[in-house]
Amino acid sequence: MLLYVHIPFCDSKCSYCAFNSYVDKFHLKHDYMVALVKQMRFELERFVATPHSIETLFIGGGTPSTVAPKLYAPLFELLKPYLQKGCEITSEANPNSATYEWLQGMRELGVNRISFGVQSFDAKKLKLLNRAHTPEMAKDALLNAEKLGYENLSLDLIYATLGDTKELLEKDIAMAFSLPINHLSAYALTIEEGTAFASKPQMSSEQLALTSWIFETIKSHGFKQYEISNFGTYESAHNKGYWLYKDYMGVGAGAVGKLGLTRFYPTPIIEEYIKNPLAIKEEQLEEEDKKIEQIFLGMRSCVGVHKNLLSKNESKQAHILLKEGKLLLDGETFENPDYLLADEIALFLTA
């Protein structure tokens, strides 16, 4: 069982961000964290959590580093009996708010992995994306985390932004690998409704050849690609848990949980969540929905798709791709050697 905790506070709203996050509600932090504990107690019962049954904990956002470690303490105290020994505990962080003191406080609570939202080491690009940090802050944050004893460190880079050149991206990747990371996520800029970039579709310009080059460049540094956007000598157990379709608790405003074929959606509105963190909408999935999701997730990652999951016709389609070299068969599992074709392959299988 996985656990995701959502922190919806941000110190600036990135121009591309469509996540449930707010820059003007910092005064609600304390009450929000109290509400989180209430929902957590409820979810632990709903999911029939037993001692040491939580495999991974991921704190995402928003920006988790805008909330002081002392406000997380009651949550960690509640979770202590439920976390497996050696549980991967990740927190996202932004370089400008992940101070040495914040990193130290989270380490003392038990966080053992930090994922830094760096996006670029180019000052002009950071300004274009409305990021609140400088390249120097990003470097300092990574080095401070290493100094404090964090063994598993990750950073995000964004590509396919207007103005990106091979030279800029090459510098970003080289700088990333000069820092103490064992994981890197590379995301293409996507323009989504409700974001500052929504009226500027020209801000995104993905080119397949450049994306392929980025992936190959990252892999040339010794990082294995284990999902379309994720690379590392370390593979995140939390990420893989989603792709393996494990159950996960989703705690916080705008989080999502899944138990069997039921999905749970706490309200995304912070004030409403604080008033009643147990006002949770439910969605019932069909077996067919589950199967299609598993095929899409499997084709986008190292998880692949087990033969038994496929219908007779889907299996026939898979063997056509196998003959063409677009799929591989490892024992009982179909694997995709080119994640950039993942969605097309999944659509072909399920057509």
Same domain, 239 and 293: no
Same domain, 168 and 317: no
Tell whether 120 is covered by a domain: yes
**pLDDT confidence of residue 169:** 94
Q: With 90 as the cut, is the pLDDT of residue 41 above it?
A: yes
**CATH (domain of 18):** 3.20.20.70
- The pLDDT-based confidence of 72 (bands split at 50, 70, 90) is very high
Q: Please state the rounded mean pLDDT for residues 40-54.
A: 95
Q: With 60 as the cut, is the pLDDT of residue 78 above it?
A: yes
Tell whether 168 is covered by a domain: yes
Lowest mean pLDDT among 78-92, 128-142, 156-170, 187-201: 187-201
Same domain, 137 and 40: yes
Where among 175, 210, 243 does a domain terminate? 243
Q: With 50 as the cut, is the pLDDT of residue 198 above it?
A: no
Q: With 80 as the cut, is the pLDDT of residue 202 above it?
A: no
Write the burial class of residue 197 (CB in 10 Å: 0-12 exposed, 13-18 middle, 19+ buried). Answer: buried
Residue 184 belongs to what domain range? Answer: 2-243
Average pLDDT, the chain: 91
- What is the count of structural domains for the chain? 2
Q: 30, 138, 147, 28: which is closest to 93 by C-alpha? A: 138
255-270 burial, b for 16+ CB within 10 Å, e for fewer?
bebbbeeebbebbbeb
Helices vs strands, H then E, count in the chain: 12, 15
Tell whether 27 is covered by a domain: yes
**pLDDT confidence of residue 201:** 47
Same domain, 214 and 308: no
Q: What is the share, in percent, of the chain residues with pLDDT greater than 70? A: 91
Q: With 60 as the cut, is the pLDDT of residue 206 above it?
A: no
Same domain, 222 and 312: no
- The pLDDT-based confidence of 307 (bands split at 50, 70, 90) is very high
Tell whether 41 is covered by a domain: yes
Q: With 80 as the cut, is the pLDDT of residue 193 above it?
A: no
CB 57 within 8 A of CB 84: no
Tell whether 278 is covered by a domain: no
Q: End-to-end CA distance of the chain, in Å? A: 32
Q: 3-state class of 280 per DSSP?
A: strand
Q: Please state the rounded mean pLDDT for residues 68-90.
A: 97
Amino acid at 302: C
Query: In angstroms, rounded to a whole number, what is the distance separating the alpha carbons of residues 279 and 272?
Result: 9
Same domain, 119 and 214: yes
Same domain, 298 and 170: no
Tell whether 338 is covered by a domain: yes
Q: What is the share, in percent, of the chain residues with pLDDT greater than 90? A: 81
Query: In angstroms, rounded to a whole number, what is the distance separating the alpha carbons of residues 309 and 165?
Result: 42
**pLDDT confidence of residue 23:** 66
Q: Please state the rounded mean pLDDT for residues 317-326.
A: 95
Same domain, 218 and 299: no
User: Is the model more confident about 103 or about 127?
Assistant: 103
**Could you tell me whether strands 183-188 and 333-335 are parallel, antiparallel, or unpaired per DSSP bridges?**
unpaired
Lowest mean pLDDT among 199-213, 227-241, 255-269, 296-310: 199-213
Lowest mean pLDDT among 15-29, 96-110, 165-179, 299-313: 15-29
Q: Please state the rounded mean pLDDT for residues 213-238.
A: 97
Query: In angstroms, rounded to a whole number, what is the distance separating the alpha carbons of residues 158 and 331?
Result: 35
Query: In angstroms, rounded to a whole number, what is the distance separating the alpha carbons of residues 278 and 272?
Result: 10
Q: Please state the rounded mean pLDDT for residues 190-214.
A: 62
Same domain, 339 and 226: no
Retrieve residue 290's tokens: 């589950």
Please give the model's pTM, rounded to 2 decimal places. 0.92
Q: 3-state class of 347 per DSSP?
A: helix
Where among 214, 243, 272 does a domain terminate? 243
Tell whether 259 is covered by a domain: no
- The pLDDT-based confidence of 160 (bands split at 50, 70, 90) is confident
Same domain, 155 and 25: yes
Same domain, 187 and 312: no
Tell whether 275 is covered by a domain: no
Give the CA dihedral 110, 115, 116, 121, nearest 10 degrees. Answer: 140
**pLDDT confidence of residue 269:** 92
Same domain, 66 and 7: yes
